[in-house]
Amino acid sequence: MDMMETKTVHTAKAGERAIHPKVMPLYQTSAFSFSSLEELEGYYEGNGTYLYSRTANPNTDALGETVANLEGAPKGVAASSGMSAILAGILAVVQAGDHVLAAQDVYGGTFHLLKEELVRLGIGVHFADFSNISEIEKNLIDFPEVKLLFSESITNPFLRVEDIEVLVQLKKRYGVKVMIDNTFATPYAVRPFELGADLVAHSATKYLGGHSDVTAGVLAGGKELIALAANRIVNMGMNLSPFEAWLALRGIKTLALRMKAQTANAQAIAEFLKDKAQVWYPGKGAIVTFALPESVDVSKFFSSLGWIQIVPTLAGVETTVSYPYGTSHRALSEEEKEKIGVTRQVVRLSAGIEGTEDILAQLGAAFK
């Protein structure tokens, strides 16, 4: 190797000496090399693990396995976003001609995915009030093509706590699958798979990552369904990058600590707001939703929040607020918004880990 062009390329490769890092290294590589054609053929015969990072990577695998372990599920797979994880999970269960029955009060992005995109694939979609068991059963009877019940453990933005055990009873009675988006609750508060759900989805962008610096999704469940979902992720290009997976794994290390602090702050915020606004808070999780009185100028309130940032997402270590009417549920029609209660006065607050008294003081100043 006398030429500089060759040296700069080939001497930068990792050495063969044994290294034992304290934390998992970042495998920021698009592909993996083989020493021979026989070793390459062995991969396709099942004797190897990694070929190309779109199909598998140690970091993305570790993220899927970690979340599955937290959820008490046998297997997990990472995806490029929470929406990708939800789509992969749905397509692992249903195909053209099948139907999905979903809670009417799911996240606006999920509502749009179900209503607009699944229909393009020939999948029927129905929405129901999942707080009304009779309404769910009526849909299951009227539409025997339903193969999947979809809801959220804590709904967005009005924080209804789903009765997962009831959905599991209906699953057994009607031979359907149950999928739960567990983003708001996290495994710290609820573990849907242990309650009988078949698939559990997460936007790891939120509490799992926890620091507002990653976009990722994870799906956990039984081995067969996760294998099908993993195929959808690979074939449809919904894979997660190694770096994003590495960041999410780093964030998960402090999940319990963050959720403990953020839930305590959320409880204090809910109590502080109860004589100032209509408040929704279920006693778990770190989100508080409230509706300002009609006499309050919403725009002025948002501009008076000081260091509490206005963002279209949630779950970072900073306390933030979002405006469902103009962001998460923007794509819904006025009739659809009215049906689930998303008015111009609704605010969704994500409690951070700051000092409780500091948060309350800043909210108090905004109300004044």
**Full pLDDT tens readout for the chain, 368 residues:** 678 677 667 765 655 567 888 999 999 999 999 999 999 999 999 988 899 999 999 999 999 999 999 999 999 999 999 999 999 999 999 999 999 999 999 999 999 999 999 999 999 999 999 999 999 999 999 999 999 999 999 999 999 999 999 999 999 999 999 999 999 999 999 999 999 999 999 999 999 999 999 999 999 999 999 999 999 999 999 999 999 999 999 999 999 999 999 999 999 999 999 999 999 999 999 999 999 999 999 999 999 999 999 999 999 999 999 999 988 788 788 888 888 888 899 999 999 999 999 999 999 999 99
Question: Where are the extended beta strands (E) located within 132-176?
Answer: 146-152
3-state secondary structure of 75: strand
Place of tokens 């880990």: 353
Domains annotated on the chain, with CATH: 37-252 (3.40.640.10), 256-367 (3.90.1150.10)
- pTM of the model as a whole: 0.94
Closest to 164 measured CA to CA, from 178, 176, 177: 178
Sign (positive or negative) of CA dihedral 165, 185, 256, 271: negative
